[in-house]
Every structure is written in C-alpha cells, then in structure tokens.
Amino acid sequence: MIRVLTPLPVLLPLLGAAAALLVGGRHPRIQRTLSVLVLSAVLVVSVVLLMLADADGADAISVGGWPVPLGIVLVVDRLSALMLVVAATVALGVLVFAVGQGAADGDEETPISIFHPTFLVLIAGVANAFLAGDLFNLYVGFEILLTASYVLLTLGGSAPRIRAGITYIIVSLLSSILFLAAIGLVYAATGTVNMAQLALRLAELPEGTQLLLQSMLLIAFCIKAAVFPLSAWLPDSYPTAPAPVTAVFAGLLTKVGVYAIIRTQTLLFPGGALDDVLMWAALATMLIGILGAVAQTDIRRILSFTLVSHIGYMIFGISLASTAGLAGAVFYVVHHIAIQTTLFLVAGLIERQGGSTGVDRLGGLAKASPLLAVLYFVPAMNLAGIPPFSGFIGKFGLLDAGIADGGWLPLVLVGAGAVTSLLTLLAISRVWNRAFWRPRAQSPVGDTDAAAAADAGPELSAAPLEEPDGPDGAAGGSTAVRSSARRAAWQRHTAVATATTPATDGLGDGGSADRPLQPLPRVMVGSTAVMVAVTVALTALAGPLYGIADRAAEDLRDRGPYIDAVFGGEGRP
Amino acid sequence: MTPTVVLPVIVGVLYAAGVYLLLDRSLTRVLLGFLLLGNATNLLLLSSGGAAGLAPILGYAEPEEMSDSLPQALVLTAIVITFGIAAFLLAIIYRSWRLVRQEVIEVDEEDRRIARRSDTDADDIDPDDLAPEDRPAMHADTFAADNEVERGLARQYAGMASDDVDLPPTRRRKR
C-alpha cells in the first residue's frame, strides 16, 4: 500500500501542472478546479502515508525497479510523511486564497494561467525533496522547487519584483552549485549518492574529508534555510512578491532547507562534528533576525525577519543532537510552516483592507474589520509563543531540551530563545497597537506622505479628511462616484509613475491609504480563517503531534529504520 | 589508469573566473559567471567517476575497463538544469534591461505631469471636476462643511509653510 502511494505526492502535482498548462487561460475555471483537486488529492495521500508510516515504520520504493543502491529511491519515514502533510495543507490553503484573490481582482493583474501550473510544480519539487532517498534526487527536487519559485517571485515582471528576484535567483544558484559540487565530491569519496548507503560509507572516511563534505552540504542548505550569516537575501526578496506567493515561500522553502539540514546532521553525519558551529549560528540567527524585525515598520518585512529569527529555534534543536532536541525541532518546523504561512496571508488581507502594509499608514483596523483583527491576533500570539498555543509548546520543548543538555552554550541559547520570544511579542504587538488598535486619525501620515499625496493630485490629498468616520462619512451621490472614479484613475497613474520604487518602502503606494474600505472577498477570508483554524488545531492536537515528532526523532537518532527500509529484507551490503 | 591533473586545474581556474564574474554588478557578467561555475561543477562531477575508460556496454568491454556511467548521467541532468536556468536568467536580464530603459520614459512621464500642472491656471479649473473638499469655499455643491474642510486641511498640512490651505502645497516628493 505505502509503496503504491509513495510516488504520488510528486507525480500528481506534475501531471496536474501539465494538465493545468494545457487547459491554460481559455478555461480558467477548469484550471482552478483542477489544481485545487490535485492538491486535495496530494493532501489525502500524504495523510494516509503519515498514518501508514507512523504505524508500520519507514518504507522505500526503488523507482524503475532497479536494484537498491543503483536506482532512484523514494523513502517515506515519519519525518518526511509529517512534512508532506503540513506542506500539502498549507499549499492547499494558499492556493484557495490565491483563487479567491484572482477572482476578486478579475484575473487581470497576474498571468493567472501561469500561476497554477507553476504552483503545482513548486509543490512537486517540495514533495520530491522530502521523499528523496539519494542526494542527487534531493538536488533535483531543490532545482524543481527553486525554478518554480523564480517564476512565482518575478510574476508579472514589475521592476521591484525583478530587482528582488535577481538577488534571490543568484543567491539560490550559488547554493545549488555548492550543493552540486558537494555531491560530486561525495561521489568521488564514497562511490555512491544513495543516502542510506552513504550513512554507512561516510563513517569510513578520514575525519578531515568528512568535515569538508559536511561543511559544504551544510553551507548549501543553510543558504536555503536562511541561517544567519547566509540569511540576508530573505528579507530583501520575499516582501515584494504577491501575498499568496510570499506566504507559501515563507512557509515551505526555508523549511525544505531545514529538513535537508536535519537529514545531513542525523543520517549522513551523526558524529556531531559541527554542532557547536550550528549552535552559534542558531544564536546569531535568533537574535539578529528578531532585532531586524523590531526595527521594521512594514508588516511583511517584520514577518520576513521573524521568519529568519525563528529558523534559529529549529537549528538550535538540531544542534542539540538529542532526541528531545530533534523532537522539538520537528514539532517547531510543523508549527512554524503553518503559522508563518497564515500570517503572510493575513498580511495580504491587511494590505487589501488598509491599502498598505506599512504600520505607520494603518490604523483603526480592529474597528473597521473585527474579523480581520481576530485573524491576525490568534496566529500572532501563537508566533510569539503565548502559553495555550502550539508556539509555546514548541518553544517549551526546545528550551527544555536545551536545559536538559546541561552545557553552558545550550543554556545561553535557552536565554536567547526566551529573549527572542519576548522580542517577537514586542514586534507583533506593535503591529497590533498601530494597525489595529489606535484610531485611524492618529496614524502619523508623515511629511513625505503628505507631500506624496499632494504630488499625486488634488483628489488624493483630500482623502484623509473622510477617514476618521470611516466609509459612512464619505459624501454620497453622483459626485462621490465621479470623484472616486477620478481618484482610482489617479491611483493607477501614480502606480505607473512610481513603479520603480519598491512598494514596501512606503513611497510607492503614496496616497493609497485613503482607499475606501471594501468588504474583503469571502474566499480569501475563508481560506485564511481555515488556516488560522489549522494553527489552532495544531495546539489542540499537540499531544499526538508531539508523539509523532518524538518517534520521528527516535528514528532519526537510530538511523536503523531508514537504512533498513532502503535495503529492504536483503540486508545491508 | 593514472589520474589526470588537467581536469582539477581546469576546474579550479573555471571556479576562480566564475566567482570573479559573479561578483560584478553587470547582470550579463553574472550570467557568464554562473555559466562558468556550472561548467566547472560539471567537470568536477565528471572527474569524480575516476579516470576515463571504455564505453560501459556489456560485451563491448570488461567491467574493469569501463568508465563509470553514473557521473555521466548526473552531469547530463545538471547540464539540462543549468541550461534551463541560464535561459530564464537571460529572460530576466532582458526584462531588467527593458525596465531600466523604461525608467527614462517614466521620468518623462513625471516631467509631463509637472509640466501639465504648471500650465493649469486656478481660474481654468471647473470646480465640479474637483473633489468636494477641494472646491472653493463658497461653491454651491460643496458637501462637507467648509470649516470642517479648513480644519482637515490644516491638520493634514500642519507644519508646512503654506498660507493658502485651500490648495495643497506642491512639492516634489523626495526620492
């Protein structure tokens, strides 16, 4: 059973992408239905895989029927099945959100016929990376998802996206080349790229060679996971993409890197040679990331920096190299995928409702849209690790594992983790206080903003007058209709004129804060609400989930189940 | 079968040149650097299979004399991936170049906007075309109460040197 299902999470999205591309722009409705159906099927398959893997242990299939160390192997164990389930869940949520957004915008702004196939290819790449049983297939999985992400990040080809996209592409290319070179060296040293066989053969190498190979792989994966010295590309490139794209990137792509680091540190190099280095990196990632978040004023940039910062927690758990630490890291990965995706979706809704993601331009959202306030508040508190939520459980597990380790460096990291948690609370409650809690009239529409509004035209500059009393205070009648039409025209005009300034720096969307409040599209709100419900469900189901994470960590520490699954009953060579 | 020193030297030279080009600001040079790095890595992969031998076909050569076919398969995959990404990079560079060229046009756009504004005389504006808040104080169709408008404008432009609050002060945005 498990052998039949294993290739499906890769195959289904790839076939779906081909079909979606064929259906193309002529039948957008069929295309949308198709991609939603495909991802739902992937989700179902992943859940079944997780249940089977948790009950029966790891299993593997050799694609094409080649004998084991020669062919391509796909391996399902508890960790990869768990990652598949979470990935499919958030991908489905984001896809429904994107469908809602496309329907609301009339499908004109984004080349939507490209979006769906590319999104499915991205998911196929993520699934392939999670299932890969050999290093080169892992590389291919990375390349599939990265190439799809290049297209998604530069969707529409506007100047800020191209600028951000080029940084992202070149950094990713560098890490891919490093990974490929490491594969070449690994093959030269051991004569295999099969991970189970590598687990046995790498230990026979001289220590220096092992260290070189391990550090090359780790550097390549740390770039993808955005661990501190290699994380500068992330806050620069993520915020400019469309909201659903940023959401799925933030949730999944960095976690694929974390997954690869887990495999490297447990399966390939269990000796713990670089654990101290990783621990220092985790410390720097947590603190520097969160200090960056505190300094920002744009919600998407704040979230990007918290994303970097919280990667540090997972690296901390991995570098502890204990079962408790790994279990905490696995649970935290699951929690963080769901929570970060949800928050970026909420940021997309905030931008839609408030016309901006700059906290200095927002205000009164709690009164204007109480539902949106709830949708932000719950995952935000979860991210900061306020007790009842899964964020608290994950952080507590990690800090507990750190204290249990007993060394001085883990204790320093426990302290840093607590500080990071508090600073996260500070960063996100500042967003809450400014964007949601204060009256809109108090938002400091600064000097440059007023100038920008004045520069854009008289229609725009007049608008903040009607803000204090909300949409009801706007003048009615035909004049209002005409003036709002003129205002929209001016906004289009200024959007063209300021297209070179990134929309996130606060100048590009000058004057858009006066956009009248419109009801949010139901599909977008609905999918975000479901995602929030999923993050809450992670709390409710924390017991069984932590159980799976615990057993996955035991498998990882043991290595036996993985290796035996690959070599089957034939015994190790 | 003696190991050759030529391949490692070439790989090293290609890596050095590739990294040098990758550090340039010009996107075309970055692309060339990426191509060099990709080829260097392909050579590295190829040389990881050991020295060259006969074609790995059963019956054609003894297994001891065959060259390792797996690195060749890996290199083929890597070449295809490099090729595809190089094509995408070219497209991005072309797009970026077009956008940079359009920046010139865009400055033009702003110039035209400002030129149009300087042409406009306050007397030529039809008050009905303006938003209610922008109309002269005594205009018939003014919706918002005039003193409210005054207060609002004063609040909005507080701290700006303008004695005529009816008209928003024109000022270039800081870039």
Q: Contact A479/B134, CB-based, under 8 Å?
A: no
Q: Contact B156/A183, CB-based, under 8 Å?
A: no
- Residue predicted with more confidence, A102 or B44: B44
User: A573 by DSSP, 3-state: which?
Assistant: coil
Secondary structure (DSSP) of A335-370: HHHHHHHHHHHHHHHHHHHHS-SBTTT---HHHH-H
Q: Taking CB atoms and an 8 Å cutoff, what residues of chain A touch B27? A: 166
DSSP state of A442: G
Q: In this complex, is the C-beta atom of A151 within 8 Å of any C-beta atom belonging to chain B?
A: yes
Q: Contact B74/A447, CB-based, under 8 Å?
A: no
Q: Can you tell me the ipTM of this complex?
A: 0.78
Instruction: Encode pLDDT of B7-29 as tens digits.
Output: 889 999 999 999 999 888 788 88
- Domain parsing of chain B, residue ranges: 6-92, 122-156
Dist CA A163 CA A10 (whole Å): 31
Residue B99 CA neighbour count, 13 Å, CB half: 20
Q: In this complex, is the C-beta atom of A380 within 8 Å of any C-beta atom belonging to chain B?
A: no
Nearest-neighbour CA in chain B from A449: distance (Å): 8
Q: Contact A166/B92, CB-based, under 8 Å?
A: yes
Dist CA A411 CA B24 (whole Å): 43
Amino acid at A200: L
Q: Contact B95/A157, CB-based, under 8 Å?
A: yes
A162, A459, A492: best mutation site toward chain B, by most B Cβ within 10 Å? A162
pLDDT at A154: 85
Q: Taking CB atoms and an 8 Å cutoff, what residues of chain B touch A458? A: 130-131, 134, 168
Q: Taking CB atoms and an 8 Å cutoff, what residues of chain B touch A486? A: 129, 131
Residue of A372, A391, A373 lying closest to A381 (CA atoms): A391
Residue of A259, A325, A312 lying closest to A81 (CA atoms): A259
**Nearest residue on chain B to A190, alpha-carbon basis:** B48
Dist CA B126 CA B128 (whole Å): 5
Helix (H) or strand (E) holding A15: helix A8-23
pLDDT at A286: 92
Residue of A303, A300, A278, A299 lying closest to A290 (CA atoms): A303
- At A467, phi and psi to the nearest 5? -75, -40
Q: Taking CB atoms and an 8 Å cutoff, what residues of chain B touch A451? A: 169, 171-174
**Nearest residue on chain A to B106, alpha-carbon basis:** A497
Output the furthest CA–CA distance in chain B (Å, rounded).
102
pLDDT at A159: 77
Q: Where are the beta strands (DSSP E) in A11-120?
A: 59-63, 72-76
B24, B48, B90, B128: best mutation site toward chain A, by most A Cβ within 10 Å? B48
Query: Which 480-499 residues of chain A touch chain B by CB within 8 A?
Result: 480, 483, 486-487, 493, 496-497, 499
Cβ-contact A376, A525 below 8 angstroms = no
Return averaged pLDDT per consecutive 10 residues of chain A, 573 residues in all.
82 91 78 89 92 85 80 88 93 89 60 80 94 92 93 81 85 93 92 88 89 93 90 84 88 92 90 87 92 85 91 92 90 93 90 76 76 88 87 90 88 91 91 81 52 40 38 40 49 42 37 54 85 88 89 87 78 49
Q: Contact B156/A465, CB-based, under 8 Å?
A: yes
Is the Cα dihedral A88, A94, A100, A105 positive or negative?
negative
Output the furthest CA–CA distance in chain A (Å, rounded).
83
Dist CA A11 CA B85 (whole Å): 22
Dist CA A253 CA A233 (whole Å): 13
pLDDT at A468: 38
Q: In this complex, is the C-beta atom of A374 within 8 Å of any C-beta atom belonging to chain B?
A: no
Q: Taking CB atoms and an 8 Å cutoff, what residues of chain B touch A464? A: 152, 156
Minimum-distance CB partner of A159 among B99, B133, B149: B99
Instruction: Encode pLDDT of B56-111 as tens digits.
Output: 888 888 877 888 888 888 999 999 999 999 999 888 888 888 776 643 333 334 33
Question: What average pLDDT does the segment B147-166 reach?
Answer: 59
Q: Taking CB atoms and an 8 Å cutoff, what residues of chain A touch B159? A: 447
Q: Taking CB atoms and an 8 Å cutoff, what residues of chain B touch A135? A: none
Amino acid at A233: W
- Domain parsing of chain A, residue ranges: 274-455+510-540
Nearest-neighbour CA in chain A from B153: distance (Å): 8
Q: Contact A501/B175, CB-based, under 8 Å?
A: yes
B24, B43, B44, B105: best mutation site toward chain A, by most A Cβ within 10 Å? B44
Total beta-carbon pairs less than 8 A apart between chain A and chain B? 148
Q: Contact A483/B132, CB-based, under 8 Å?
A: yes
Q: Taking CB atoms and an 8 Å cutoff, what residues of chain A touch B157? A: 450
Residues in chain B: 175
**Nearest residue on chain B to A176, alpha-carbon basis:** B38
Q: Contact A461/B99, CB-based, under 8 Å?
A: no
pLDDT at A457: 40
Minimum-distance CB partner of B156 among A169, A450, A486: A450
Q: Taking CB atoms and an 8 Å cutoff, what residues of chain B touch A163? A: 96
Token pair belonging to B121: 């005389």
Q: In this complex, is the C-beta atom of A263 within 8 Å of any C-beta atom belonging to chain B?
A: no
Q: Taking CB atoms and an 8 Å cutoff, what residues of chain A touch B41? A: 177, 180-181, 184
B173, B174, B175: best mutation site toward chain A, by most A Cβ within 10 Å? B173
